[in-house]
Structure 1
């Protein structure tokens, strides 16, 4: 599977929960065709994309959860012989898998970390919403695309690349967390309207609560 020079046509992002259910899936047409052919070769007789992807990736994702839970040493990156690479990240009880063709490990790792940060910033721990809420899934897809293509619009964009956690003492960190939690409770009005409170210092994050 070889992409055109200068392009990365075989790419995608998948998010699985701890039950190995597919919560989010976005892939290029080229990658979809490749995965579909793998399903045919494996005699997976399913027509729904979510089921096909779960069949193909469930052994790998299950292994990732086990490596994280029992060995504290999860898989970070896999390089395949056909040029595909897979970068892994975990957020709460979800596994993120970013796939790219002929891309360096650093590139895919950055993309999967951006996906984790963006998803948590929008949804906090409620990533399961992506499975049934098409509007939210489309928003995540559009923001990630904007981030990857570099089409930022001045102050209207969220510069995730510049964001980092501020290193402070435990006492200060606890005080910041208490402040964000208290503010979140005051603003909370509905369980269907998620709130996210972020306490920052310049480009660094001191505390975040959802």
Structure 2
């Protein structure tokens, strides 16, 4: 059956949107793209025949696509099928991404805290009244709040929104739920809790190596039901 150019373009547009919501190897992506194209073309032809038309229009495509579900639902269904084939990121890859992230976060914290650090230095190197100590304590508290705010914004918001931080993006890693679907902000917060408490992240990583090495999950990945996978290759 003949398709209008608008109908063909609409099918390709929907396929592109769905694929953008998926994290797959090139081979799996090609297989899914082929299957989606086949399903959408066949479904659109059925809709055209139902209205007695010999040419498939954009309206037919819209009806066929809507029956499959919205892009998130379609992508999620496919990711559930392919979750087992995703390549998990191991200890060293994740450690390298963490180091990059901490360097970036540290620089950001340092820049934002610079005024408070300068005032601290000024007050601590000159004779000042006793009450100044209270101001110093408040400035140290402000620095701590800045550090916490940067870490939450950097780790939780970026992962919750995009599934990755800058470090993970550079190394081609992404955080997903164990079924292959995207994580949300709650998942990102849960899995990053150890990173807010200094050396606790080391213990969390050791638990991954000792107990959960097959899925390469930290303890708090288990809590959040998340995995870290490679997005390239």
Fold-level similarity (TM above 0.5):
no
Structure richer in helix, relative to its length: 2
State the structure with more CA Rg.
2
Higher relative contact order (CA 8 A, sep 6+): 2
